[in-house]
Amino acid sequence: MSRSSSTIKTECGIILHTVEMAFPAYLLKWLAEQQLRYSYHLFPFSLLISFFIFILLRLINGAWSQKPNLPPFPPKYPIIGNLHQLGTLVHRSLRDLSDKYGPIMLLHLGGVPTLVVSSKEWAKEILKTHDITFANRPHTTAAKLLFYGCIDGAFAPYGEYWRQVRKIFVIELLSIKRVQSFSFIREEEITNMIKKISHLCSEGATINLSEMLLGLSNDIVSRCALGRKHENKDGENKFGDLSRELEQLLGAFSFGDLFPWLGWMDSLTGLIEKIKKVSRDLDTFLDEIVDEHVKQMKQDGSDDKNDFVDILLHVQKNNILNTKFTREHIKALLLDMFVGGTDTTSTTIEWAIAELVKNPKIMKTVQEEVRRMTSKKQKLDEEDIQQMDYLKSVVKETLRLHPPLPLLVPHESSAATNLKGYHVPSKTRVYINAWAIQRDPEMWNNPEEFSPERFSSDLKGQNYEYLPFGSGRRGCPGMSFGLVVSESVIANLLYWFDWELPGGANNEDLDMSESFGLVVTKKIPLHLVPTSHCFSL
């Protein structure tokens, strides 16, 4: 039944009266124009649509007008955000920005909101007070392809599976008892290195200590994890070469990681193919290793746990995790060992020796301790090394000035949260700048100086001004393994040899420039001339 013109006018009047207080004048004028253009039969429908659009806009404007209190942030460009403000040494660039915008700041690296923390107080807030909220890791393009979809311990999402894997690392793989059981491996490999240096020393040669330390670290981890070294035709550690490529790819630039809508660019640049090739090579190599162990266990009829592969096969066989634990899980966890235990350890030793060469008085003090406590033994016992307090302080101070991972492995928020009044959205990446925190002049006297005497802090991350191994749920489980290797190698290098720069160069002129990557190493490898001490091998 058609309605009268007066009825329609009445309905229009009611609707207009309902919105006249909310609609701005310019919109009422537009509505009046529409009334003239359209018949009364169509106008009520048009008016209702306009009303709902207006309410939607008001809701959006209301959301905009109530912006959350975000952490301080520097100006950013469209699309790239704050990427242009990062230099080649990212940890230093972030420290400089933090000096200007505060110890907690929000950057946009491409399309990724990124929280940067540069103080003890804010690190504690993330790693302790809100530990669970920030217990996830972002899944990068390389991590997903190299670690079998992030089923390893480093990148696995926080949850029951990760907790079970963490137990394997802490109890089975990297417990103090297990680390001690591998002492014979460390002693043999360190002895081999000392013999090589002695041979070169007799020829008066200059040695590339950086390269030698990386090879040693790879050999030790290979034997502990895989049971033996796997050398290529040139006598180099085959898995060491592959793990080095893996680490480079983990730190490589990926369009998809910063601009999700540009992920296809990683295929054009060749990054995806490089990652897949290394992944295939690693997978084939690790399959051969696991097959060897399975075959050996069947032949021996034993379930001995002699290395990490044996331990993980034992976990799988006995269903210790009470969940699906496949060969891919085993291979992913083995990769964790190499990423976490090779470059980080060799880099720590490299920086320690460099600092000692640059500070000869400190080197003399620690050498006197090492040589006094060993009493001219033909071999340094790890038990003796544990009593060398000044040596331990040298390692601590090295880790303070030169943390191998200056930006701790990034965290990611699992939900929107409030940090002391600041709103942090869900899926925000979090970088804790351990390098900046450990050089904070409010926490450390003369923070740029190498001074082992300063140390009273522990190494476990409970004092948040010192975080070389992280802290909280995602703290590094390999701390004991890395420390015992670093201390043993440094003690032996100082016990058997004196060290100086080639050509009698001034120690103070030693270049200490950094090269940023997954691990921050010396930009220029450490070349030194060793002089054999009075002991004979």
How does DSSP classify residue 70? P
Answer yes or no: is pLDDT of 30 > 90.
no
Tens of pLDDT, residue by residue over 174-206, are 999 999 999 999 999 999 999 999 999 888 889
Tens of pLDDT, residue by residue over 455-482, are 976 666 678 999 999 999 999 999 999 9
Q: Both tokens of residue 127?
A: 């790693």
61, 164: one domain? no
In this prediction, residue 39 carries a pLDDT of: 42
Confidence tier at 58 by pLDDT (50, 70, 90): low
In a domain, 105, yes or no: no
Tens of pLDDT, residue by residue over 223-250, are 999 998 877 666 666 777 788 889 889 9
Q: Are 358 and 509 in contact (CB under 8 A)?
A: no
In this prediction, residue 12 carries a pLDDT of: 46
In a domain, 134, yes or no: no
CB-count exposure of residue 40 (10 Å: 0-12, 13-18, 19+)? middle
52, 196: one domain? no
Query: Which of 436, 342, 348 minimizes the C-alpha distance to 392?
Result: 348
Q: Are 368 and 427 in contact (CB under 8 A)?
A: no
d(CA 93, CA 90): 5
Tens of pLDDT, residue by residue over 404-446, are 999 999 999 999 999 999 999 999 999 999 999 999 999 999 9
Average pLDDT over residues 114-120: 97
174, 52: one domain? no
Expressed in percent and rounded to 5, the helix, strand and coil fractions of the chain are 55, 10, 35
445, 309: one domain? yes
Answer yes or no: is pLDDT of 24 > 50.
no
Q: Average model confidence (pLDDT) for the chain?
A: 86
In a domain, 72, yes or no: no
55, 170: one domain? no
In a domain, 121, yes or no: no
Number of domains in the chain: 2
What is the pTM (predicted TM-score) of this model?
Answer: 0.85
Tell me the percentage of the chain whose pLDDT exceeds 90. 69
Tens of pLDDT, residue by residue over 73-85, are 999 999 999 999 9
Q: Which of 38, 65, 92 is the last residue of a domain?
A: 65
Q: Are 209 and 526 in contact (CB under 8 A)?
A: yes
Answer yes or no: is pLDDT of 510 > 70.
yes
Tell me the percentage of the chain whose pLDDT exceeds 70. 85
CATH number at residue 314: 1.10.630.10
CB-count exposure of residue 53 (10 Å: 0-12, 13-18, 19+)? exposed
d(CA 169, CA 345): 18
Q: Which of 36, 65, 94 is the last residue of a domain?
A: 65
196, 51: one domain? no
227, 366: one domain? yes
In a domain, 83, yes or no: no
In this structure, the number of other CB atoms found within 10 A of the CB of residue 126 comes to 25
How does DSSP classify residue 524? S
Q: Which of 46, 65, 84 is the last residue of a domain?
A: 65
274, 384: one domain? yes
d(CA 237, CA 224): 14
In a domain, 273, yes or no: yes
170, 35: one domain? no
d(CA 343, CA 351): 12
d(CA 400, CA 395): 9
Query: What are the residues facing 114 on neighbouring strands?
Result: 107, 429
394, 524: one domain? yes
197, 324: one domain? yes
In a domain, 338, yes or no: yes
In a domain, 141, yes or no: no
How does DSSP classify residue 386? T
51, 197: one domain? no
Distances (CA, A) of 450 to 121, 353, 363, 502: 24, 12, 11, 22
Q: Domain limits at 44?
A: 5-65
CB-count exposure of residue 253 (10 Å: 0-12, 13-18, 19+)? exposed
In this prediction, residue 506 carries a pLDDT of: 85
SS3 289: helix
476 is in an annotated binding site: yes
Query: Which of 43, 34, 38 minimizes the C-alpha distance to 12?
Result: 43
End-to-end CA distance of the chain: 112
Q: Are 170 and 153 in contact (CB under 8 A)?
A: no
Query: What are the residues facing 417 on neighbouring strands?
Result: 424
